[in-house]
A = this chain, B = another copy of it.
Amino acid sequence: QTVELFKPVAPGENVIRAGEDTTSGQQVLPRGRKLRPQDMGVLAGLGITSVTVHRRPVVAILSTGDELVPPEEQPGPGQIRDINSTTLAALVEESGCIASTIGIIGDDFDTMFATCEKTLNGADMILLSGGSSVGKRDFTLKVLEKLKNSELLAHGVAIRPGKPTILARIGNKALFGLPGHVASAMVVFYLLVRPLLLKLGGMDAPLNLLPLPVTTGEQIPSAIGREEYVRVQLLWKNDNNLPVALPIYGKSGLLSPLVKADGLLVINRDCEGLDKGETGKVLLFPVQH
């Protein structure tokens, strides 16, 4: 019998030797990261079918305001449906945490205090939306003062939108007073709440939102003094050019601009805006269409 050789084979070619993928004593996966499909594969290859993971943080969500009714009710004159509970619950779940939606509290100090005190027992964090500004009906600060072991970390943040924000700790738990306008609440969630949730969920160095390099599709003005986060839509290019970011304007209480947006273009505090064609960074929303 004749055997014809088409190409030479080196010794050891197409062979994986014992210890080539991982050697004895080597760390295969660092702690403090999400398990991805390939990480699960590594564990399966080593015969590890069960691992200890971090507990998912529990986040209690409360909406405050006499004007609010639940989504399933028909709002009367001067009333609006509570949008923030639903939106924040989805944001919390998307961050890998458990959302506990408490519901609507009217503008009443005693109810608000009692609800917060009770809620703190079963949660790692409270998100209060509305009531964090400085008006007559903004009770968040007063509630905070009365809660045991509470510490106000910041009242007002130099970002746009999102200025009327309260950051506080109560023992080893966190309380955020978020702006009542949903677009502002979402910006504050992504910038300040989500990184903390990822940390509480056990991640050592979370990336949070991916900072995508882009070019602007038109001039985008901004006022000096606060870091601005402009909702933008992205146009993807098939060549090696950067994606193009187009601003979507609208009041911060409106939802339709957010539905069109893919992420937030960052404009620095000391910058009067970006010219058309300038390079910038867009913080991408975690779920893309």
Tell whether A279 pairs with B240 under 8 Å between CB atoms, given A28-B256, A256-B28, A287-B34.
yes
CB–CB A42/B256 < 8 A: yes
Partner of A186, one of B37, B73, B186, B259: B37
| A49–B71 CB distance below 8 A | yes
With beta carbons under 8 angstroms apart, the residue of B38, B254, B281 that contacts A87 is B38
Give the residues from 184 to 214 in chain A that come closer than 8 angstroms, CB to CB, to chain B: 186, 203, 205-207, 210-213
Please name all residues of chain B whose beta carbon is closer than 8 Å to the beta carbon of A47 when the two chains form the complex.
Answer: 71-74, 81
Among the listed stretches A15-23, A150-158, A163-171, A218-226, which one makes contact with chain B, having 4 or more residues with CB under 8 Å of it?
Answer: A15-23
- Give A207's nearest chain B residue, CB to CB: B288
A residues 117-149 near B (Cβ < 8 Å) are none
Name the B residues within 8 Å of A86 (CB-CB).
40-41, 43-44
**Minimum distance in angstroms from A80 CB to a CB of chain B:** 8
- Report yes or no: A259 in contact with B16, Cβ–Cβ below 8 A: no
Q: Which of B37, B81, B280 contacts A94 (CB 8 A)?
A: B37
Interface pair A210/B34, CB less than 8 Å apart:
no
Question: Is the CB of A106 closer than 8 A to any CB of chain B?
Answer: no
Chain B min CB distance to A48 (Å): 8
Q: Told that A21-B253, A49-B72 touch, could you supply 17 new A-B pairs with CB distance under 8 A?
A: A33-B289, A34-B288, A36-B287, A37-B88, A37-B90, A37-B287, A38-B182, A38-B261, A40-B87, A41-B84, A41-B255, A43-B71, A44-B82, A44-B87, A46-B81, A210-B212, A213-B243
A sample of 15 inter-chain contacts (CB < 8 A) reads A20-B254, A33-B289, A34-B288, A37-B90, A38-B182, A38-B259, A41-B255, A41-B258, A42-B256, A45-B255, A48-B71, A203-B289, A207-B289, A210-B212, A212-B212
Binding site for B on A (CB under 8 A): 16, 20-22, 28-29, 33-34, 36-49, 71-74, 80-91, 94, 182, 186, 203, 205-207, 210-213, 236, 240-243, 251, 253-256, 258-259, 261, 279-281, 284-285, 287-289
